[in-house]
Structure 1
Amino acid sequence: MPLLLCPQCGVGMKEVERRGVLIDVCPQCGGVWLDRGELEKLLAEARAVERAYEEEREAYYRKEGKPYKKKKGFLEFFDLFD
C-alpha cells in the first residue's frame, strides 16, 4: 500500500525522482505533492538553468554586436514569496 493517497482522487501516489528530488505524483489525476524543502530545491535548479541560458544569450548578443535586454523569467513570480 502506498504511503500517501492523493487528496484529490484518493488513488495511491507514486514516488518519482526529478533532478535529484523525490516527489509524489498521482498516476490518475497528475497531482503533485511536495514535501518540505522540495519546492525550494526544484526552484534552485530551475534558477541555475535559467541563469545559464541568460548568460549564453547575453554572450551571443555581445558577439553579434546587438543590444542585450534581459527578459523576465517565469521564476521571478516565486520571488514574491521570499
Structure 2
Amino acid sequence: MSFKFSRHVEDEIKRRKIPANFVDAVLQNPHQIVEEYGNKKAYQSKVDFGEGKVYLLRVIVADNVNPATVVTVYRTSKIKKYWREL
C-alpha cells in the first residue's frame, strides 16, 4: 500500500526526532493495526530508539482515501495504554 505524508507529519517527524526509516518500517510491517477515531487506524510497533528503552511508535493513518494519508506520528512510553492484546 502506498502512503501520502501530510505536511504536518513531515514537520512532526523532524520536531520529534523520529527517524523516517522507522516510520516507513512501521507502515510496511506494523506489529499491530488498531482502529482509532474518525475512520483512522494506528499502525504501531514497539521500537528501541537506541536509548535502551522501548517505546511505542504510532503512525495514525486515514486509509479511507486513496492514497492512504498519514495524519500524525509520535512515540510514547505508554505502551499499556495503546497496545491491544489479541
More strand by share: 2
- TM-score under structure 1 normalisation? 0.29
**With CA pairs under 8 Å and 6+ residues apart, which has the higher RCO, 1 or 2?**
2
More helix by share: 1
- TM-score under structure 2 normalisation? 0.28
Bigger Rg over Cα: 1
